[in-house]
């Protein structure tokens, strides 16, 4: 369980008045920091490829029961949960795949 000041900071940063935006997950609307950017992936021997890697960062408590394949609607586009990583301090980073 993160300290209260960390939970407050996470709630502030993900708020819609700062960086947050609303997405739909599991029938609920939650506020996250959504990022739909391209990243460079190294394939070995100096070869790189650009791939789309949409992600979102939110409060861990908002994503209780998250599972691979869950649908997320962000900016009117449906994504599928590929993987996620909890930081142990109240945040979760979720890696998505465009449907």
Mean residue pLDDT across the chain: 86
What does pTM read for this prediction? Answer: 0.78
H helices present in the chain, as ranges: 4-13
71-74 vs 47-59, strand pairing mode: unpaired
Query: Taking residues 4-32, what's their average pLDDT?
Result: 77
User: Residue 42 and residue 22: Cα distance in Å, rounded?
Assistant: 32
The pLDDT-based confidence of 71 (bands split at 50, 70, 90) is very high
Lowest-pLDDT range, 3-7, 29-33, 41-45, 74-78?
3-7
Say if CB 54 and CB 39 are below 8 A apart. no
End-to-end CA, the chain: 34
* Per-residue pLDDT at 13: 63
The pLDDT-based confidence of 20 (bands split at 50, 70, 90) is confident
């Amino acid at each position: 369980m993160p300290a209260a000041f960390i939970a407050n900071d996470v709630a502030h940063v993900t708020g819609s008045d700062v960086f947050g935006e609303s997405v739909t997950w599991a029938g609920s609307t939650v506020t996250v920091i959504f990022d739909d950017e391209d990243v460079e992936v190294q394939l070995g021997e100096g070869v790189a490829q650009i791939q789309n890697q949409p992600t979102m960062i939110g409060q861990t408590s908002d994503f209780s029961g998250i599972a691979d394949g869950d649908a997320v609607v962000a900016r009117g586009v449906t994504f599928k949960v590929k993987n996620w990583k909890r930081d142990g301090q109240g945040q979760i980073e979720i890696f998505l795949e465009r449907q």
